[in-house]
Each structure stands twice: as structure tokens, then as C-alpha cells.
Amino acid sequence: MTTDARVQQARQHALGDLPRRTARRFPDKPAVIDGDVTLTFAGLDAAVDRAAAAIADAGLAKGDRLALLSHNCWQYAVLNFAAARVGVVLVPVNFMLGGAEIAFILDHSAAKAFLVEDALLPVAEQALAASGGTVGPRAVIRLAGGEVPDGWRDAQEWFDHDGTPPVVDVADDDPVRMMFTSGTESRPKGALLTSRALLWQYVSCVVDGSMSADDVELHTLPLYHCAQLDCFLGVDVYLGATSVILPGPDPAAVLAAIEEHRITKFFAPPTVWIGLLRSPAFASADLSSLRKGYYGASAMPVEVLKEMRERLPDVDLWNFYGQTEMAPLATILGPSEQLSHAGSAGRPALNVETRIVDDEDVDVPAGTVGEIVHRSPHATLGYHHDEAKTAEAFRNGWFHSGDLGYVDDDGRLYVVDRKKDMIKTGGENVASREVEEALYLLDGVAEVAVFGISHPRWVEAVAAAVVPKEGVTLTPEQVMEHGRSVLAGYKTPKYVVVVDALPKNPSGKIVKRTLRDEHADLAAD
């Protein structure tokens, strides 16, 4: 080994190194709790070593891709670090996708191995049948305890593997993760993330999100999504905080877990926080341990934010805004400004620069809407096998988010809309979020989503899908009448549908593309 190589090895600070370093500080402290399974930090590091050795012995080498299709479990946490330890790129797969969609991810990423939760085997088999690639080792995570089918191995063998992982030099900008964009677009893109992006992002979360080793955090949002995986679980392992894992965000289970484990810290998108507030178990749950609450993925309706402050007065709140390509944090609104600047996404995180620009990438004045762009070590290396979209996103040396917003005189960011969600009606631009905030002021509204539909006269018309609170009856006419009382005429929804639920992806984002498709003919009625 050359002197330069020895120096590089001594300086390595990659994602896969974190469990080992934390285990040296807190060997006996609980790291991950998942049902009856508790891994201390020493136990987590040992499990990562075994799984990393198994990955290497299965024939995967640095740069190869390992696809993972599973709900939340302790095995997910182990594999996240184990793949990185040997330089293998983990490809988390959205468990809500169909077989053809998963086949696209397997093919586009050129996945060499595939680990699948047993309950998801049917869709995995469909994906493999539709895939044009050749996925090699296939293993089943037997969460339900079923039989291992022909052609598959028991993934427990990976976690019990008797071996030592090879020493792999993983540089700061070697890819360790391929995160596919959330699926609110027609075709997901594979964003390549490196240890440099993730670890600088962890530092931003720790400093601006007031995170510490004393935290006991509940993880319920899908770990395939970078918000839960990298703003929270990865940071907890980095710091030495305890992570309690649930398979999903069922309100009753969340409230029970907070009480049982004395949870101090919890992240969820607004839709999940709303679900907790509406749960019959909320009033009787002992939530006295909870001190830190985080929201993101979409804007928190101001009326809901006010309700949270009233019903959870001892919980400090943070708004995390970002996206997959930023690993994912970009800006934060802290506890002291939640009500005084409700609706804001806050200021750029510690390691992020943010600007608002026009279509020519020229800065616009405070209060003027433009595209939100960032420069940061958090940023993705680019999109896998998509030079054109990478070049478009990084034009002029800044990452272009595709979000529209403005900053106030003090530099706080306000996100107005996604470019594709801006409604252009009769020559006027309408921000769907502004209309949503207005409709939340109507008593009885639990959730609302505003979107544009084709219209023969206005080109696009403003439409709204409204979910009433339990036991409340709302009519489209009531909603439109309320809209007219608080909004300009051209912003008032011309069409309202009252629905039982809004379409969402597992990260809690409302999928407006589905609403536009389902209600495309409203103007024709």
C-alpha cells in the first residue's frame, strides 16, 4: 500500500464508518429497537460487519447496485450501512410501486442483487419477470416468517454471516446511494448521493435541527425515502441517539409507541400530524416525553400548525424543506418562528446557499416569486444515466429545484408551489398552496388539495378536493362560497369535489397528478 493510500484510509469518513465510530463511544446504548429486537450500537456495528461481508461474498463489489424492497425494519437500518461499508450502492425501492415500475428501477439502476420483504414477494416476482436485466443474488427478509421460494435465499443468512468484510476505500464522492425521486412525476430519476453529501447534510440537521445523542426517536415514515432515512435515522446513528422503528405511521400505533418508549423526537409530514390530532386515542395518550417535532414533505397548513401549538404546547417544532437531490435538507424554520412566520420554509441550512432567480437565472428582489436554486455539498452527483436532466438541473453551477418561492426582507423562504402545480387560469397565475391555506380556514375541513384542470374558456381552472373532518358534512357549494369570501374571484375554486381521502405516496406527499387525472373531466360536466 502506498503512503498516499494509507493516508486516505486514515482520513476516510464514509457512511459505512458511522456505526463503528458510534459503537466506540456508546457500545452498550440501544441503537435500534424494532419490536422484540434491540441492537446496541456495538450490536449494530457487528451486524453491519456481518451483512457487509455477506454482500461482498455474494459477488458484489464497489460501485455495484443492491436493490432493497421492504417496509421499515431493523434489517433496513443494517443494510443501509452494510452496503456503504463495502462501497456498494444501495437502491431503496418504493414498496407502493407496481411490478412494471419496480422493473424500471431494477433495469435503470442495473441492480446486481435484490433483497425483498416476504410480503412483497409477489410484486417483486412480477418486476423480475418484466425486467430486461439480470438480477443475481436474491434474498428474502422473512418478516412474516414464510417459506423461502425457489430461486431465493433467506436474507437471515446475510445477517448471521460468518466472515469479515473486505477493506474498501470509499472516497467522499463515491456514490453510496441511488435514491429515486418520489414518484409524483411521471418517471422517477435516480439521484446519486455520496458520503460527502449525506454527512454534510447530517451536520446541517444536527446544528439547525437541535439534534443530540440524548434523543429517542420514533421512525414511522418509509425508510426508502431520504427524509426518514437521512434526516433522522442516519443522523441518530451518527450522534448515538436511539431509534425506535415502526412499519408505518398508523396513528394509534404511533401514539402507543411514544408512550411506551418515552419518545422525545418525531418526524412526520403534515398529513400524519393531522392524523394524530384527529385520532380518538390522542386525548388519552401520554405524550409528556415528546419534546421535538419535525414536519416536511409538504407545507403545514397554518390552521393545523396553530392547533398543534395549542395541543402540544411543550413540543418544539421545526419545518424541514428540501428534496431528494439535496440529500434532502435545504432550509429550516425553527421553533421560535413557527407562529410568527407560519408558512415559511425558513432560512438556508448551515451548509446550503439558496437564491431565488428568474428564467434567466438572475436574482429577483425580496418578495418576488422565482425558482428556488441551491449550492451545497448536500447536492446529488446528478441523475444516473441521464446527462441531459443533470445538465438542466445544474445549469450555471446551481441546483435548480423546480420549486417556486420568494424570500422576505430577512431572508426567510416561502415556497409558493411546484412549477408544475402553478395554475395558469385566464392569463393569471394561481398558487395552489395559497388557495389551500384559505380553504383550511373553513370549519370542518380536515385536508384539502388544490389543482388545475383543463378548461375550454380559461385554459386551466382551479379545482379543489376536500376531505371533511369526521362527523362533518360539507358540500361543494359551501366550500366555494367560503372561497369567494376570502379569495379573489380568479383564485376561488370553480370546481370542488368532496372525497374520503386524498391520494398520497408513502412519504406523505399528496399526488396531485392523480387528482388531475381522476378529475380531468370536471369542466365537461
What average pLDDT score do residues 379-396 get? 96
**pLDDT beyond 80 at 351:** yes
What's residue 488's pLDDT? 82
User: What are the DSSP calls for 179-240, one per residue?
Assistant: EEP-SSSSS--EEEEEHHHHHHHHHHHHHHTT--TT-EEEE-S-TTSHIIIIIIIHHHHHHT
Q: Which three cell numbers stand for residue 137?
A: 443474488
> How many percent of the chain have pLDDT more than 90?
81
Domain limits of the chain?
40-193, 422-524
Q: Which of 228, 201, 248, 468 is nearest to 350 (CA)?
A: 201
Confidence of residue 97 (pLDDT cuts 50, 70, 90): confident
Q: If we measure between CA atoms, which residue out of 176, 177, 170, 172 comes closest to residue 324?
A: 177
**Domain 422-524, CATH homologous superfamily name and number:** ANL, C-terminal domain (3.30.300.30)
CATH architecture assignment, domain 40-193: 3-Layer(aba) Sandwich (3.40)
**What are the grid coordinates assigned to 494, written together?**
370553480
Instruction: Give me the sign of the Cα torsion angle 365, 431, 306, 296.
Output: negative
User: pLDDT tens, 265-295?
Assistant: 999 988 889 899 999 999 999 999 999 999 9
Contacts 24+ apart (CB under 8 A), 383-392: 383/189, 383/190, 383/191, 383/192, 384/108, 384/109, 384/178, 384/189, 384/190, 384/191, 384/192, 385/108, 385/190, 386/189, 386/190, 389/189
pLDDT at 510: 87
Q: Could you tell me which residues come within 8 angstroms of residue 202 by beta carbon, excluding any fewer than 6 positions away?
A: 230, 234, 235, 238
The three-state secondary structure class of 137 is coil
**pLDDT tens-digit series, residues 307-320:** 999 999 999 999 99
pLDDT of 183 reads: 47
Q: What is the 3-state secondary structure (H, E, C) of 244-300?
A: EECCCCCHHHHHHHHHHHCCCEEECCHHHHHHHHHCCCCCCCCCCCCCEEEECCCCC
Q: State the average pLDDT over residues 417-426.
A: 75
* pLDDT score recorded for residue 184: 43
Of 78, 71, 72, 110, residue with least CA distance to 91:
110
Neighbours of 444 (CB within 10 A): 15
516, 235 Cβ separation under 8 angstroms = no
Cα 464 → chain centroid: 25
pLDDT at residue 69 greater than cutoff 50: yes
Mean per-residue pLDDT for 17-41? 98
CA–CA separation, 249 and 78 (whole Å): 21
Task: Name the amino acid, one letter, at 517.
Answer: D
Quote the pLDDT of residue 154: 98
| Mean pLDDT along residues 87-104 | 92
Assign 302 a pLDDT band (cuts: 50, 70, 90).
Answer: confident
Between CA 230 and CA 358 the distance in angstroms is 31
H or E, element range at 468: strand 459-468
Confidence label for 182 from pLDDT (cuts 50, 70 and 90): low
| Chain segment 474-497, per-residue pLDDT in tens | 999 999 999 999 888 889 999 999
d(C-alpha 156, C-alpha 499), whole Å: 43
Coil, strand, or helix at residue 514?
helix
Q: What is the pLDDT of residues 204-251, one digit of tens each?
A: 999 999 999 999 999 999 999 999 999 999 999 999 999 999 999 999
**What phi and psi, each to the nearest 5 degrees, are found at residue 176?**
-125, -5
Mean pLDDT, the chain, as a whole number? 93
Q: What's the pLDDT score for residue 118?
A: 97
